[in-house]
């Protein structure tokens, strides 16, 4: 029988990670080109950098969720052998797919957080032809991370239930 406490903890962590990733997408840094007071040069001015913190928070909550599931299921490969059944096959497939989705989500969140924190320090002497390049994070990186957090959450919940079901198959009643 799957532990309801583990399922609830993982669900809460995944919801928090999803919310933080959506917040990070909404609050990513934006930049504008500004001319200094003496009009000697132009430079980039960035707004709030809170999206980086949201992205890192989402990354950590998703990591905590994955750690809880893997500890509860002994990472599928450790612990007693599972009984041969459809639940074991399903658990194995869900285990592998959930890890792929987890790695993609973590990659999106990490790359988005690092890129959002990067602010160019480039200055252009006034009178030049091109304005400075105020690079910012492309729209949708944290959104993709949020989507993969959602997939990871669903897959890990189903994995844990299938794992628990395959552990209970064929056990004699006490």
Domains of the chain: which residue ranges? 4-29+48-115+138-165
Q: What is the mean pLDDT of residues 135-143?
A: 76
In DSSP terms, 43 is beta-bridged to: 34, 123
User: What is the total residue count of the chain?
Assistant: 174
Q: Is it the case that residue 107 has pLDDT exceeding 60?
A: yes
The confidence band for 28, taking pLDDT boundaries of 50, 70 and 90, is: confident
User: Is residue 167 within 8 Å of residue 82, measured between CB atoms?
Assistant: yes
Q: What is the mean pLDDT of residues 148-165?
A: 93
User: Is residue 116 within 8 Å of residue 51, measured between CB atoms?
Assistant: yes
Output the pLDDT for position 10. Answer: 95
What is each CA distance from 159 to 77, 149, 155, in whole angstroms?
13, 15, 6
User: pTM to 2 decimals?
Assistant: 0.80
Indicate the range of 55-59, 90-94, 132-136 predicted with least confidence.
132-136
The confidence band for 65, taking pLDDT boundaries of 50, 70 and 90, is: very high
**HEC per residue, the chain:** CCCHHHHHHHHHHHHHHHHHHHHHHHCCCCEEEEECCCCCEEEEEECCCHHHHHHHHHHHHHHHHHHHHHHHCCCCCCCCCCCCCHHHHHHHHHHHHHHHHHHHHHHHHHHHHHHHHCCCCCEEECCCCCCCCCCCCCCCHHHHHHHHHHHHHHHHHHHHHHHHHHHHCCCCCC
- Average pLDDT over the chain, rounded to an integer: 81
Q: What is the mean pLDDT of residues 62-88?
A: 82
Q: What is the mean pLDDT of residues 37-53?
A: 73
Output the pLDDT for position 139. Answer: 79
Q: What percent of the chain has pLDDT over 70?
A: 72
Buried b (16+ CB within 10 A) or exposed e, 91-118: bbebbebbbebbebbbebbebbbebbbe
């Amino acid at each position: 029988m799957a532990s309801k406490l583990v399922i609830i903890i993982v669900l809460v962590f995944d919801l928090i990670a999803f919310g933080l990733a959506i917040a990070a997408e909404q609050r990513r840094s934006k930049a504008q080109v500004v001319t200094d007071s003496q009009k000697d040069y132009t430079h980039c001015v960035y707004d709030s950098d809170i999206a980086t913190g949201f992205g890192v928070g989402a990354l950590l909550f998703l990591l905590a969720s994955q750690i809880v599931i893997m500890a509860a299921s002994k990472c599928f490969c450790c612990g007693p052998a599972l009984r041969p059944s459809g639940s074991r096959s399903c658990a194995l497939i869900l285990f592998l797919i959930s890890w792929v989705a987890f790695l993609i989500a973590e990659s999106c969140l990490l790359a988005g957080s690092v890129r959002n924190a990067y602010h160019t320090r480039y200055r252009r002497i006034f009178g030049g032809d091109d304005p400075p390049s105020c690079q910012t994070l492309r729209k949708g990186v944290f959104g993709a991370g949020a989507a993969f957090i959602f997939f990871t959450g669903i897959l890990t919940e189903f994995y844990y239930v299938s794992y628990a079901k395959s552990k209970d198959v064929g056990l004699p009643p006490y």
